[in-house]
Amino acid sequence: MARSFDHIESDFDERIIANAHFEQPGTSNRLVFRLCPAPPQPRPPAMSLRASGCYSAQDMPGALHASPLLLLVVLPRPVLASDAVAGAVLALGLVVLALRGRWLRAPALDKLILFGPLFYAVPIAAFGTEHFMLTRIIASIVPAWIPWHIFWAYFVGACLIAAALSLVTGIQTRLAASLLALLFFLFVVLMDAPAWTHQPTNRFATALMLRELAFSGGPLGLAVSLTPQNQRGARILGIIARCFVAIPILYYSVEQFLHADHAPGIPLELVPPAWIHGHVLVTYLTAAVYAVAGPLLLIGWKPRAAATAIGAIVLFGIVAVYLPLGIVERASLDLGVNYPMDTLMFCGTVLMLAAAMPRSAAVAGNTAA
């Protein structure tokens, strides 16, 4: 039956919100928003504040072949809003990079490192937008013992967007990076770690907890690199930042060797479709780079080169796997936004850490930009 696009969009959003439920309770922090009725499932005891969604472009007849203008009309509001804000932050970051001119003067490897804050900022801008578009769902993820759930959903969303702008503009970057490091560390302590204790043998729960830990380590490294090196505690914080990223890398290396059919970068539930050829080889290659560079990063031997190599292979996986998947599944909040953005954020966190590492081959006891 023919219907106007306004009706489609409105009904689409209402059905998504009405049928929100958790996939694999107790094992993941990914919310699933389906267009068909789904039975309610119990909520895990503790989850991350960043909700994810999943509704396929295949659920929108003709979406894969629609014109760009038509696609903007029928895209779900959370997807459209997240893409718009992330795109604006990306454009602003590229303009700032071009105006500063550092990219042209930087050595080959450092050219990639300079994109670290931008690669981190774009995803947190998208995730912050989701806090405003899916407020009640995200508020329901806040642990029950914490009061004012709606307030925290809005507050964290606003903080993520503000931090993204700070990272790309260079305004109060040290403060923003410090607060981001604290925020994601609190996610680990208050939500991800308690959820992991309910199923400590579940590999996805472990991967999610370590992902949040790495998301804390990257901005911590950036904050340390912007701190005078003679300041007390800078050396210790630099080592902590390096460990926060290196330990997840080592675990992810093993997981990707054991489960190469899954998407590369962060070993979560996603199994790429068969039409993305060679994704298994990309996962094996990512695991191999992690296996070599991860120990070097952990012990602090050539940590800048090690972190840069990890960032480069994660970026390669984004281009080879997540980008085509995101284009095809562009109507999906999970496959079109959250999975690609999560992985880009992981790339950014490693590159930010690389920028904080010394250039010398000696063991890195401190961090010098």
Domain count along the chain: 1
Q: Which ranges constitute the DSSP H helices of 188-233?
A: 193-198, 203-225
Has residue 361 been placed in a domain? no
Does the global pTM surpass 0.85?
Answer: no
Has residue 303 been placed in a domain? yes
What pLDDT sits at residue 360? Answer: 61
The Cα–Cα gap between 49 and 137 comes to 10
Nearest to 348 by CA among 315, 299, 301, 302: 315
What pLDDT sits at residue 40? Answer: 40
The Cα–Cα gap between 177 and 50 comes to 18
Place of tokens 């909700």: 51
Has residue 114 been placed in a domain? yes
Has residue 365 been placed in a domain? no
| The length of the chain, given as a count of residues | 369
Specify the 3-state DSSP secondary structure of 301: strand
Helix axes 339-356, 116-133, angle to 10 degrees: 140
The Cα–Cα gap between 311 and 309 comes to 5
Q: Which domain holds residue 129?
A: 5-356
Has residue 369 been placed in a domain? no
CA distances from 253 to 34, 61, 192, 257, 308 (A): 32, 39, 21, 6, 16
Has residue 223 been placed in a domain? yes
What pLDDT sits at residue 68? Answer: 52
Nearest to 265 by CA among 322, 217, 187, 332: 322
The Cα–Cα gap between 349 and 41 comes to 33
The Cα–Cα gap between 259 and 280 comes to 9
CA distances from 289 to 71, 112, 279, 296 (A): 38, 17, 15, 11
Has residue 362 been placed in a domain? no
What pLDDT sits at residue 114? Answer: 92
Q: Output the tens digit of pLDDT for each of the chain's 369 residues.
A: 433 333 333 344 444 444 444 444 343 444 444 333 344 443 333 333 444 333 444 444 444 444 554 455 567 889 999 999 999 999 999 999 989 887 777 777 788 999 999 999 999 999 999 999 999 999 988 888 999 999 999 999 999 999 999 999 999 999 999 999 999 999 999 999 999 999 999 999 999 999 999 999 999 999 998 887 666 678 889 899 999 999 999 999 999 999 999 999 999 999 999 999 999 999 999 999 999 999 999 999 999 999 999 999 999 999 999 999 999 998 888 999 999 999 999 999 999 999 988 876 444 444 443
Has residue 239 been placed in a domain? yes
What pLDDT sits at residue 100? Answer: 86
